[in-house]
Structure 1
Amino acid sequence: MSSTSTAARPPATEPPPKGELDHTPAWVHVAKWAAIALTIALLGWAAQQAIEAGSWLIVTVIAFVAMMVLVVYSTRRLVPMKYMLPGLVLLLLFQMWPIVYTVGTAFTNYGDGHTLTKEEAIDAIRAQSVRQDPEAPRYGMSIAVPEGQPIETGELSMLLTVAPADDAGELEEGAEEGGEAQLGENVTADGYQLFVGTEEGLEPLAAEGVAIRSNGTVEAAPGYRVLNLMEANQRGQEVQAFAVPVGDTGAGIKAATTSAAYVGQPSITYDEENDVMTTLEGKRYVAAEGNFVPEDGEGAPLTAGWTENVGLKNFATIFTDPSFRSGFLKIFLWNLVFPLITVVSTFLLGMLLALLFNDPRLKGKGIYRSLMVLPYALPIFVTGIVWASMFNPQFGLINNLIGLEIPWRTDPWFARLSLIITNLWLGFPYMFLICTGALQSIPQDVKEAAAVDGAGPIRTLTSVIMPLLLVAVGPLLVASYAFNFNNFTLVYLVTGGGPFDSTNTLVGNTDLLINFAYRLALESGNPNIGLASAVSIVIFFLVGAISYIGFRRSAALEDVN
């Protein structure tokens, strides 16, 4: 028996070589490697941009991603990672990085007047303090880039002219060594002296081949592409910040108008050893909390500040500053109530409509259900603006229909009511949809069993249908609460956060915390992005805690099953 069984077996064969199993067309391999090469090239270009900006952290991340692309997609292994890697990269870019950046910003004073590094702030203060030297002449100026360089990114140069009647002594002294010896070569037949200024300094410009306009500025020069007015305006910020150093005193030639320049002398000097800035009058400013403030405590700080770490100061402001804390708590309480009322009202209306249209005796349910979904299908940007106009106290449709003058925008309680009404209109279709699906999933025999036990319609609804319905929609109610906790768009479009108290224009009576953070960051008189980031972190933990408690509670509903 054993021998017969053995003879019946097919002869053992060795597996074919690995290459023979590969029936992938050659064009697929070519396309794969072309896609890998294109991805690496794009990442290399992004890395180059980051290097030029000095963002070495971004360079490191890009290098890591490029390495992962090569490792994952160049081999036959790691098949699950081939599908997961794009999602992981997008998660890193659009979820993790914003969170990390927000947390980092929350511990700084980043905001209006504190967006620069300290070195940039010092340079900005000195540049802003430049005053024209009354003894130096004004110069005709043309902005140019070296021939062959792109107009948009080429190195800027000033082609300067000194009229024959002007005293160019100061300019001659500021020219680089050798300029005086070449002085005859940079004088045109009309007597104009020509110079070219760059970030390195001032040099004579050979007059041969140079064309001068009637206003005394350079129209064309060998080796340079002179920008016209439109091209120069496109780089206006760079031109305003551009200065040609002259001598060792910190003086520089700066643009005065589109066709004229002057020698400017900074009126503030910086002592790096003592970290002090001093004006020509002798007033001293010392570094403190991202600003140079008067050493004697009298007067305002210098205009430009820098970003620096302030530790827990922003969080301390939220919880300890009396005026800020009172406004924050006021908004927080409304922020708890608003999503609760919204979820309860939209759920009850949506559920009642779902129960009505779930009745088998009702005809045309498909049409009615489609009409119910229309408010949910329209963009909130459209419906929000429409409802805001309807609540206009003078010209709105609602006051005109009811014949009353309800102060929807000026009274805090009516403004809050307008938000709840608008959100009821926008939110009930969603609850209607999920309740309709949940009701249709409840077995009919459960309802029949309740009827056999003598339960009437109300008792069946409260004791049978509602518990089973909440099992399905409970987590969605928690998610809806979390969404409305940060419903920025609705508040921004309908009320703008107002009305505002006369004593504190930062705190609106219909503000949610997210709207408050937005106003702190962008719309206040003194935007403070660091403080707004701290508020955002508080919002994150509040939503997380509320969601955790809500999901724990909704999990208890599963005992109904």
Structure 2
Amino acid sequence: MRPPLSGPGSATQAPGRGSVDSGLPPSRATRDHAPITLTGIAGKVLLLGLTAGIAVWAAFPLIDGGKWVGLALLAATTAALFYLYLTRRHIPAKYLVPGTLFLVAFQVFPVLYTASTSFTNYGDGHRGSKDDAIVAIQTASVTQVPDAAQYVLSIATTGDPATGALVFLVADPGTRAVSVGDVDGLRQLDAADVTVAPNGRVTAADGYTVLNIGQASARSKEITDLVVPTAGGAVRASGLTRAYEGKAVRAYAADCDCVRDTETGQTWTADEETGTFVAADGERLAQGWKVNVGLSNFTRVLTDENISGPFLGTLLWNFAFAIGSTGGTFVLGLLIALALHSPRMRGTNVYRVLLILPYAMPSFAMLLVWRDMFNADFGLINNMFGLSVDWFGQPWTARFAVILVQLWLGYPYMFLVATGALQAIPAELTEATSVDGASPWQSFRAVTLPLLLVALSPLLIASFAFNFNNFNAIYLTTDGAPFPADNPSNGATDLLITYTYRLAFGGQGAEFGFAAAISLFIFAIVAVVSAVSFRRTRKQEEVYS
């Protein structure tokens, strides 16, 4: 064996030692002398340029809103990213930081925002500040008075004529001065930027698309609802070509922190605890403001009789649905996998392709198909079996139907994972039990099933968590129906997630704060069940490892 060279200038290195030339560990030397390629430079410039662009784009709203803490955090994060990727140090961090940022942006921040919302009354009528509520109350009470200013009106938008945000282009008949108005108020335009017809109507304006009569007629309701606040009241449309500046009947008085109706004299005093203006007889104005309500959203779930009873029933059905869907699909998928795993089966590849077809089809489309198949009048199931069952009209038949649909949609997944787990179990283990005189059932119960559960328990826990919040399975089939006559917001097949969705976006008015509180209940339930299940899974792994 030739001895290693060790003369002066030699570039060889002894095992476990750095380069003689550099005096650095091999990894450090290689890293610091890594070749710089044009592709690497271009990629780095592109990504860092994109980062800088996003930072600049995000900085302007923060500056306009006076969010200096957020601006400082944005600047520090951007500077840290540039430092990290412009140096050759901190190699592990270069790979960990992107994933961490996405985790914070798409997981941590939404959870924290939901939690903060759950302690407020945020929802319809309580979306903005108290000042916003006062402006909305005053502008909504605007009425036309005999001496009100009249304007020639043109309807315009800054976006698509059919969907863009609407603005009023109003021209004063006397001075021919043109102003643009939106929910933020009136702003006068430069005469050089507008074109006014002889009849005083604005026909063109820089930066705006003027709608013709047909386009404006299609959005007449939006035009009627648009109110442009002014110092003395608000500008509202009178048809599609005229506008007037009306006077607000209700006005805010700072001395009493209340809203007064100048015609009737009625007064609504501000209630800072609920974020509303309340009259002496208990009447509340519809427009309020966002305030912190503490734990009232959480206690409401437990103490309000109209909510606690339906909530408990929904929670129990939610568990039954998640357990039934997960357990049913697992049992069926495992039985099919065991049947096709038998060496006596022929044509197993054909069977496997046919059996995973439900998994290959879009679930939302299949849910809609199943909904029609369960139709009481023309559904395939009633017609095929000669039944007259109103599947979605009764609570228990509707629940059975949605679990059956879940069984059909979910068993291919369990079949695939069970097939893979079965193939990973050494055949010698089952053969040894046969030699010892165990029956096939005893061999399955003592060897195969425990080993399968060790491998599949994490997947079963994940499947349970998914089914516990399986919004599509309910929304696209029953939409929560059937509903009791006295509670149209909570149906027999509703899961907590669909009930929360109906509270947040239902027709009776959005209650985002209350919905956020229920979301935290759901999060806590799933987290506890998952933690307990994973703990038992680890104990099982220790036994069979």
Residue 71 and residue 206 in structure 1: after superposition, are their counterparts in 2 closer, same or farther (change >3 A)?
closer
Q: Distance in 2 between matches of 1:381 and 1:489?
A: 7
Contact 1:144–1:225 (8 Å) recurs in 2: no
Instruction: Determine helix, strand or coil for the equivalent of 1:46.
Output: helix
- The answer to whether structure 1 residue 217 and structure 2 residue 201 are counterparts is yes
Instruction: Determine helix, strand or coil for the equivalent of 1:138.
Output: strand
**1:325 deviation in Å?**
0.2
**1:201 deviation in Å?**
7.7
**1:512 deviation in Å?**
0.8
Aligned length: 511
- The answer to whether structure 1 residue 271 and structure 2 residue 263 are counterparts is no
Correspondence 1:49-448 to 2 at 5 A? 49-52=61-64, 59-136=71-148, 138-142=150-154, 158-162=170-174, 193-197=175-179, 212-214=197-199, 216-219=200-203, 228-230=210-212, 240-245=226-231, 250-280=232-262, 281-288=264-271, 289-294=274-279, 296-298=280-282, 300-448=283-431
Q: Distance in 1 between matches of 2:191 and 2:333?
A: 82
**1:219 deviation in Å?**
4.9
Contact 2:118–2:514 (8 Å) recurs in 1: yes
Q: Distance in 2 between matches of 1:125 and 1:284?
A: 13
**1:240 deviation in Å?**
2.9
Contact 2:152–2:170 (8 Å) recurs in 1: no
Moved more, 193-202 or 454-463: 193-202
With the length of structure 2 as denominator, give the TM-score of the two structures. 0.85
Q: Distance in 1 between matches of 2:365 and 2:187?
A: 58
**1:25 deviation in Å?**
3.4
Moved more, 368-377 or 117-126: 368-377
Instruction: Determine helix, strand or coil for the equivalent of 1:161.
Output: coil
Q: Distance in 1 between matches of 2:189 and 2:442?
A: 99
Partner in structure 2 of residue 505 of structure 1: 488
What fraction of aligned residue pairs are identical, expressed as a percent? 38
Structure 2 residue runs of 5 or longer lacking an equivalent are 11-19, 24-28, 158-163
Tell me the alpha carbon deviations over residues 495-538 of structure 1, each in whole angstroms, 9 at most, x when there is no partner. Answer: 11110111111111111111111111012412211101000000
Moved more, 133-142 or 543-552: 133-142
Instruction: Determine helix, strand or coil for the equivalent of 1:501.
Output: coil
Partner in structure 2 of residue 181 of structure 1: none
Matching residue within 7, 10, 24 for 2:7: 10
Matching residue within 454, 471, 476 for 2:459: 476
Q: Tell me how large the CA RMSD over aligned residues is.
A: 3.3
Instruction: Determine helix, strand or coil for the equivalent of 1:262.
Output: strand
Residue 28 and residue 345 in structure 1: after superposition, are their counterparts in 2 closer, same or farther (change >3 A)?
closer
**1:205 deviation in Å?**
9.7
**1:380 deviation in Å?**
1.1
Higher Rg: 1
Contact 2:334–2:414 (8 Å) recurs in 1: yes
Moved more, 380-389 or 126-135: 126-135
Moved more, 413-422 or 341-350: 341-350
Instruction: Determine helix, strand or coil for the equivalent of 1:265.
Output: strand
**1:204 deviation in Å?**
12
Q: Distance in 2 between matches of 1:483 and 1:392?
A: 27
Instruction: Determine helix, strand or coil for the equivalent of 2:243.
Output: strand
Tell me the alpha carbon deviations over residues 163-218 of structure 1, each in whole angstroms, 9 at most, x when there is no partner. Answer: xxxxxxxxxxxxxxxxxxxxxxxxxxxxxx434447898999999x985434x435
With the length of structure 1 as denominator, give the TM-score of the two structures. 0.83
Q: Distance in 2 between matches of 1:290 and 1:509?
A: 34
